[in-house]
Structure 1
Amino acid sequence: MALNTLHDLMIAELKDLYSAEKQLVSALPKMAKAAGNENLKQAITLHLEQTKGQVARLEEIFGMLDTSPRGKKCKAMEGLCEEGAEMLEEEGEDQVRDAGIIAAAQRVEHYEIAAYGSTIAFARQMGHDEIVTLLEQSLEEEKATDVLLSELAVNEVNVAANELSGDDEDMADEEDESEDAPAAATSSRSKAKSPVNAGTKRSASAKRK
């Protein structure tokens, strides 16, 4: 597709957004299923429904423009979804995985916020007020989701993941102490039984006499 006008660029951005949202409709259920934190699971499920609504808005916009939404794949979203899928397959603690899910989800949100923002600017410049209104609804949902994920991370998920790190450090300290104790006891017994020490003490006693 040739980009000869701002209208051409707006269409390209809209197709990119459409592809991105369609990919998310497939990816979000997997993230929700993998989430251990119940509030995180609910937040992802809620955003899945919002994403379906965003797809519908984009289809409405393409209808207004008498243009097909097909024909372009958002490679950026494809990469973000692949990274998220790889993280879900990693073995480990649920609390840490939840923190990773939020990180992956927020990378997606930040990409979408930027994409919606620029597309809105193009539509506004050309006087497409109805399109601006529809896109702004989706943008506000993306921003609200980003804020919700940040709150979950700060207040619940990251706290739980960090507590696991604290438990590991405590266990390591206990193991170090248990290893040091026998070594210290062995050292004390060796000094008490040492013939060199005993001979030195007898020699010193004889000199005093």
Structure 2
Amino acid sequence: MLDREIARSVFVTGLKNAHAMENQALSIMQPQVNRLTHYPDLSQRLQSHIAETETQISRLSQVLESLRESNSSMKDTLLSAMGSMAAMGHAVAGDEVLKNSFANLAFENFEIGAYISLITAARASGDSHAVALLEQSLDEERRMAEWVAAHIPSVTETFISLKGTGESAKV
């Protein structure tokens, strides 16, 4: 049998980390969506996922508040800054849209792992209310990861086509 107090401690730490992770996701996606000109489907899906991510942050805050805890402003700020730096790093690449697609797929899968762990810790700590909220976020992350993976071929083909015409293909 798992110790509920230890499980709660792991759960709270995970919630704070996930809150920061979702802020990092926003700082990665927002610059991307603002730069996309030749990839309207990707732009639209990123805009939709930005709205989902904002809702996920709200869910995480709700769970933290129910536990009489709060997010870590320091973690939120630090990971958000790291996300902004990652976005800037790809902006100088000649194949920015491709690099962003690969990084987005990796990040979505990281988030999936984080939510699976959070759900496990919530169950171990006896917080059944949080499980339903976290499962909603997990489902959204899985759908986004599937979408990104399914669209890497079309993004790559558009990139190649634009590059062949001499247009800026990177975004």
TM-score range normalised by the length of the shorter chain: 0.7 to 0.9
Q: 1:46 Cα deviation (Å)? A: 0.5
Q: 1:26 Cα deviation (Å)? A: 3.2
Q: 1:78 Cα deviation (Å)? A: 5.5
> Residues 45 and 28 from structure 1, CA distance in 2 versus in 1: closer, same or farther, beyond 3 angstroms?
same
Write the distance in 1 (CA, Å) between the matches of 2:63 and 2:121.
14
Aligned equivalent of 1:187: none
Q: 1:97 Cα deviation (Å)? A: 2.5
Write the distance in 1 (CA, Å) between the matches of 2:27 and 2:101.
17
Amino acid at match of 2:42: L
Tell me if the contact between 1:113 and 1:143 (Cα under 8 Å) persists in the aligned partners.
yes
SS in 1 for 2:75: coil
> Residues 22 and 54 from structure 1, CA distance in 2 versus in 1: closer, same or farther, beyond 3 angstroms?
same
Aligned equivalent of 1:39: 41
RMSD between aligned residues: 2.3
Alignment of 1:105 with 2:104, yes or no, is yes
Alignment of 1:68 with 2:70, yes or no, is yes
Deviations 1:142-165 (A, max 9, x none): 0100111112112x1112334568
Q: What residue ranges of structure 2 are gaps of 5+ in the alignment?
A: 166-171
Q: What residue ranges of structure 1 are gaps of 5+ in the alignment?
A: 169-209
Amino acid at match of 1:8: S
The more displaced of 24-33 and 74-83 is 74-83
Write the distance in 2 (CA, Å) between the matches of 1:135 and 1:32.
26
Q: 1:129 Cα deviation (Å)? A: 1.0
Write the distance in 2 (CA, Å) between the matches of 1:80 and 1:115.
17
SS in 2 for 1:67: coil
Q: 1:83 Cα deviation (Å)? A: 2.6
Q: 1:76 Cα deviation (Å)? A: 6.7
Tell me if the contact between 2:27 and 2:84 (Cα under 8 Å) persists in the aligned partners.
no
Normalised by the length of structure 1, the TM-score is 0.68
Tell me if the contact between 1:15 and 1:71 (Cα under 8 Å) persists in the aligned partners.
no
Aligned equivalent of 1:13: 14
Write the distance in 2 (CA, Å) between the matches of 1:37 and 1:8.
43
**How many residue pairs end up in the alignment?**
159
Amino acid at match of 1:85: M
Aligned equivalent of 2:129: 130
- Higher RCO (C-alpha under 8 Å, 6+ residues apart): 2
Alignment of 1:134-145 (within 5 A): 134-145=133-144
Amino acid at match of 1:152: H
Q: 1:100 Cα deviation (Å)? A: 1.7
SS in 2 for 1:5: helix
> Residues 144 and 103 from structure 1, CA distance in 2 versus in 1: closer, same or farther, beyond 3 angstroms?
same
Tell me if the contact between 2:24 and 2:82 (Cα under 8 Å) persists in the aligned partners.
no
The more displaced of 18-27 and 5-14 is 18-27
